[in-house]
Amino acid sequence: MDFTMITQAAVQTFTLYNIALIFGGLLIGMVIGCIPGLSVTLGIILMLPLTYNMEDAASAIILMLAVYVGGMYGGSISAITLNTPGTNSAIATTFDGYPLARKGKVKKALDVSLFASTFGGLFSALLLLLCAQLITKAVSKFTSVEYFALGIMGISLIAGVSGESLPKALISGMLGLLMACIGKDSVTGVSRYAFGSNVLRYGINILPAMIALIALMQVVDKLREFRISGGKIKDANKIDNDGMTGPETKSILPACFKSSAIASILGAMPGVGGGVAQFMCYNEVRRSSKHPEEFGKGCLEGIAAAESSNNAVVGSAMIPLLTLGIPGDGVTALLLGAFMLHGITPGPTMFTKQGVMAYTIILGCLVANIFLFPIGKALTRAVAKVIQVRYTYLACAIIMFCFAGAFAASGHVKELILTAAILILSYVLTILDIDNTPLLLGMILEPIMEKYFVSASMAYDRDYSIFVRRPISLVILIITVVMVISMMRVNRRVNALNAEQEAAMAAEHEQMGSAEDAVRASETAKADVDASFEDSIADAVFEQEHITAKPDVKVNLDKDKP
C-alpha cells in the first residue's frame, strides 16, 4: 500500500464538507432505500445533477457511495417493518426480519440489520483498500489492447447475466453502444447517424439516458401500481424499544463474518450484485449454523447473513470498477457513468495518475460505512415513517428533479427531448422483454472502449488481429467466453430460486395474515376468555403457521447449493 498517498487522501477525506456529504448521502440513501419501488440506482441518479458543480470529483463520488451504502441498509427497514423489501438486495432480509417483527421485536431486527450492514460494509471497504493497489500492480502491463478486451468482458458479462435470453441481452448492449456512437465522432470528426437532426448532432449524453432508462421508468411503474391499487399502503409494524443485547451481538458475529467474506468475493466478480449474493450467503450461513431450524422464524443470524452480504457487495463491487474500469452491476455501471461525467477514467492509471483521488474515494467508502452505524441508530425511527408517505408526493418531486437534472447535462432543451424519447424506447424494450441494464452499460462503456480501440488500432497500424494475437488480451477474451457461459448457468439457477422463494414467502405471509384474522375472530367470540390465555393461542397459531410453511423455503434454499 502507498501510505503517502493514503495519508494525503485521509486529509482530503476528513474535510467538514466531505463529512457533511457522507451524512447527507447516508440519510438520503436510507430514505430512498426504504421506500419500496425506489432503488439505490434511482438515489444515485438523483444525486448526479447535484454533483455537477462540485469542484472535487472525489467528493461527488463519495456522496454517491454514501447513498449506495445508506440505500443498502435502508432496504432492510421496509423489509422488516412492512415485509416489502425496499430494494432487491433486501429480499432475504424479509425471511427472518419480518417474522421477528411480527413477534413484536422490530427494534431488535433493525439493530441486527444495522450492525450486520455496518460489519459487511466495513469488511469489504477494508478489502477494497488492501486489494486495490495489488490488482493495479498486477495489471500495470496492460495496454489499450487489453483495456479494449476488458471493455468487451464488462459488457459481455452484464449481458450474460441479465435476463433469460443472451441474444436479447446482447441486442440491448449493442443498442447501447450504437446509441453512444450517435453524433460527432471524437477522432475523425465525422457525424454518425444524426439524420440531419439538431437533437442528435452532438450525440446522446449519458445523464438523460440514465435518468430515462432507470429513474423515470421506475417512477412510471410505481405510479401505475398506485393508480391501479388506489394508493393503499400496508400497515407497518411499530418500532418498540427492545434493542439488541451484548450476547446477541456476539452470537451473530460469525454469521456476519462468513456472509461478508462470501459476498465480498462474489461482489468482486463482474456481473454479480447484492441481489444474487444475499441468497448464497443466507443459504451458506443457514447450512453451517448450529440452529438451522430457526432460520425463517425470526432468527438473528438470518438477518445478519442477508444484511452483511448486501452491504459487503458495495465495497467489493468497487474493486473491479476502480482497478480495471469494469462495472460489476447496474449500480457500479452508474458510478462509472458518474466517474466519466466528472472526467475520471477508472482503471490502473487512476492509481498512478490520480492516486490521491482513488484513495480518497476508497477512504470515503470506509468512512461512510463507519458513520452508517450511529446515523442508523439515531435516524432509523424517523426514516421508517417515510414508508407511510403517499407515493404521489414523492413521484412528482422525483419526475421534476429528473427532468431538471437531465436539462442540466448541457443546459439545452434537446436533453429533455432525448429523455422523453429514451423513456418511450425503454418502455417498448420492456414490453419486448429486453432488459435495459446492458443498454445503459453499453452507452457508458462505449466512449472508453472506442478510445482504447482507436489507440490500439493506431499503435498497431490498423491490424485488428492484434486483439487476439496479444496473449493477455486473448486470455481476457477466452475468460470472457468461459465466464459468460458459466455465469448464465448460475444466473438461471439463482433466478429460478429467487422466483420460487418469493412465491413461497408470499404464500407464507398470506397464511400468516389469515391466521391473524382467525385469531381476531376468536378474540371477538370469546371476549370473556382470560387475556393471557388468548395471547398464548395467538402465539401458538403464529408459530404453527411458521413451522408448517417453512419446509417450502428450506427446499428452495437447498437448490442453491453450489
Partner 1 sequence: MKIKIKTNLVSGILMALFSGYMLYVMPKQVKVPAYDSGAPSPRIIPGICLIVILICSVVLIIESLIFKKEKIVEFDWNNEKPAILLIAILCIYVFLIIKIGFVLASAITFTVVLFYCGERKPFIYIFTIALAVGIYFLFTKVFHVSLPAGLLPF
Interface with partner 1 in residues 414-433 (CB under 8 A): 416-417, 419-420, 423-424, 427, 431-433
Least separation in angstroms between CB 11 and partner 1: 28
Map the footprint of partner 1 across residues 333-392, applying CB under 8 A. 390, 392
Least separation in angstroms between CB 47 and partner 1: 13
Q: Which of 137, 224, 234, 526 binds partner 1 (CB under 8 A)?
A: 224
- Give the binding range for partner 1 (CB under 8 A) out of 83-91, 220-228, 268-276, 522-530: 220-228
The CA-based angle 136-141-144, given to 5 degrees, is 100
Least separation in angstroms between CB 265 and partner 1: 31
The reply on whether position 161 binds partner 1 by CB under 8 A is: no
Question: 130-138 long-range CB contacts below 8 Å, 24 or more apart?
Answer: 130/1, 131/268, 131/319, 131/323, 132/319, 132/322, 132/323, 132/351, 132/358, 132/362, 133/1, 133/2, 133/351, 135/319, 135/323, 135/324, 136/323, 136/348, 136/351, 136/352
Residues facing 436 on adjacent strands:
none
Q: Which of 19, 126, 129, 194 binds partner 1 (CB under 8 A)?
A: 194
Q: Which of 220, 370, 519, 541 binds partner 1 (CB under 8 A)?
A: 220
Report DSSP letters for 177-235, one per residue. HHHHH-EE-TTT--EES-TT-HHHHT---HHHHHIIIIIIHHHHHHHHHHHHHTS--PP
Q: Which of 3, 16, 53, 562 binds partner 1 (CB under 8 A)?
A: 53
Q: How far apart are CA 99 and CA 77, in angstroms?
A: 14
Q: Which of 411, 465, 525, 527 binds partner 1 (CB under 8 A)?
A: 411
Joined grid coordinates for residue 115: 450492525
Least separation in angstroms between CB 224 and partner 1: 4
- Give the binding range for partner 1 (CB under 8 A) out of 25-33, 113-121, 402-410, 549-557: 402-410
Q: How far apart are CA 328 and CA 318, in angstroms?
A: 8
Q: How far apart are CA 141 and CA 146, in angstroms?
A: 9
Within 8 A by CB and 6+ apart from 266, the residues are: 272, 276, 277, 280, 313, 316
The reply on whether position 50 binds partner 1 by CB under 8 A is: yes
Least separation in angstroms between CB 433 and partner 1: 4
- Give the binding range for partner 1 (CB under 8 A) out of 9-17, 185-193, 335-343, 534-542: 185-193
Residue 386 has φ and ψ, to the nearest 5°, of: -60, -30
Map the footprint of partner 1 across residues 199-218, applying CB under 8 A. 216
Residue 191 has φ and ψ, to the nearest 5°, of: -80, 135
Least separation in angstroms between CB 459 and partner 1: 10
The reply on whether position 177 binds partner 1 by CB under 8 A is: yes
Map the footprint of partner 1 across residues 244-263, applying CB under 8 A. none
- Give the binding range for partner 1 (CB under 8 A) out of 24-32, 225-233, 344-352, 552-560: 225-233
Least separation in angstroms between CB 205 and partner 1: 14
Map the footprint of partner 1 across residues 85-124, applying CB under 8 A. none
Joined grid coordinates for residue 93: 432480509
Least separation in angstroms between CB 410 and partner 1: 10
- Give the binding range for partner 1 (CB under 8 A) out of 88-96, 128-136, 184-192, 505-513: 184-192
Q: Which of 17, 20, 192, 559 binds partner 1 (CB under 8 A)?
A: 192
By residue count, the chain amounts to: 562
Cβ closest to partner 1, residue 5 vs residue 408: 408
CB 295 within 8 A of CB 248: no
Q: How far apart are CA 72 and CA 85, in angstroms?
A: 11
Least separation in angstroms between CB 403 and partner 1: 7
Cβ closest to partner 1, residue 138 vs residue 459: 459
**Taking Cα atoms as reference points, which of 125, 432, 153 lies closest to residue 270?**
153
Residue 37 has φ and ψ, to the nearest 5°, of: 100, -20
Determine the size of the site formed for partner 1 (CB under 8 A): 71
Least separation in angstroms between CB 194 and partner 1: 7
Residues facing 191 on adjacent strands:
184
Our CA dihedral for 540, 546, 551, 556, rounded to 10 degrees, sits at 180
Q: Over 37-61, what HEC string results?
A: CCCHHHHHHHHHHHHCCCCCHHHHH
Least separation in angstroms between CB 54 and partner 1: 10
Q: Which of 253, 379, 386, 454 binds partner 1 (CB under 8 A)?
A: 454
The reply on whether position 469 binds partner 1 by CB under 8 A is: no
